[in-house]
Amino acid sequence: MSVTLALLLDALIGDPPALWQRLPHPVVLVGRLIAMFEARFNRRNRREGVILLSLLVAGAGLIGLGIEWLPGGNVLSLLAAVIMLAHGSLLQHVRAVSDGLDSSLEEGRQAVARIVGRDVRGLDEPGVVRAAVESAAENFSDGVVAPAFWYAVLGLPGILIYKAVNTADSMVGHRNERYEAFGWASARFDDLLNAVPARLAAVLIAGFDGRAHQIVRRDAGLHKSPSAGWPEAAMAARLGLSLAGPRSYHGRMSADPWILPEGRRDGRSRDIRRACSVLRQAFAFLLMLALLSDVVRW
């Protein structure tokens, strides 16, 4: 099991579109199972949500152990881990927003709509930029640092459990009438699994910028998510760009406070490219930590 090799292969290969056009991605299959369970058993109370979470954790853990025990399990585990990491595809999707904005505001909106859940129809260019940069920072934590962390700690069962729980949180962990109770267990367990990786992601993004670390400590708690605020505050500090703030979800405006309120609010496509550069630096730091982890394990 090599975390370093898994990260390198993901960065080089990414998610080949030709492959996943022919086969469903494992995360897509998990999402379908969650949707089927939710449609049949969501009684808007916590009991069924706890059952869903238990099934996901047990199922993902057993599948991971089963793969590790197979002949050639180390190689199979490595390939499975590469599939679960998302650094290569993350940069591709984020850069697509910058490229879209360079052509037109509408193309930028269409590109960012593929990576965020907020309403994008009324976003101006700074709004599109904020959405893309926030998504880049949060998904670096959720899609790269956290999977790598749990792969290093618990092997393939760890990364599979994390991805299953994170998928459940993204689907049913919403604060609304339908999911408030049913998704409670998945949302809370996802927060627990992200507690260390989110803070690690913030440290990696802030890098050697001392002021960025100060801003992270000051502003991370302003975010409505106990996890997303850490990498987003670090990215805001590195770019000097205000993030979060009021935004529209499903036709309703949130009253979220600004992260780095003294920062610029006139983001442009070049800020997205700067965010990608920051993430490449953060990924290099992550590789060094992964290499140290592999050396210690050997």
User: What does the chain come to in residues?
Assistant: 298
Residue 283: is its pLDDT beyond 70? yes
Residue 57: is its pLDDT beyond 80? yes
Q: 14 falls in which pLDDT band (50, 70, 90)?
A: confident
Residue 158 tokens, joined: 């760890």
The count of other CB atoms within 10 Å of the CB of residue 207 is 16
Q: Tokens 């609304």 sit at which residue?
A: 176
Distances (CA, A) of 148 to 41, 42, 73, 85, 203: 32, 32, 18, 7, 15
Q: 253 falls in which pLDDT band (50, 70, 90)?
A: low
Residues of the chain above pLDDT 90, percent: 74
Pairing of strands 258-259, 243-244: antiparallel
Q: Are 111 and 96 in contact (CB under 8 A)?
A: yes
pTM above 0.85, yes or no: yes
Q: 18 falls in which pLDDT band (50, 70, 90)?
A: low
- For the residues 96-120, what does the mean pLDDT come to? 90
pLDDT at 122: 81
Average pLDDT, the chain: 91
What letter does residue 141 receive in the DSSP assignment? I
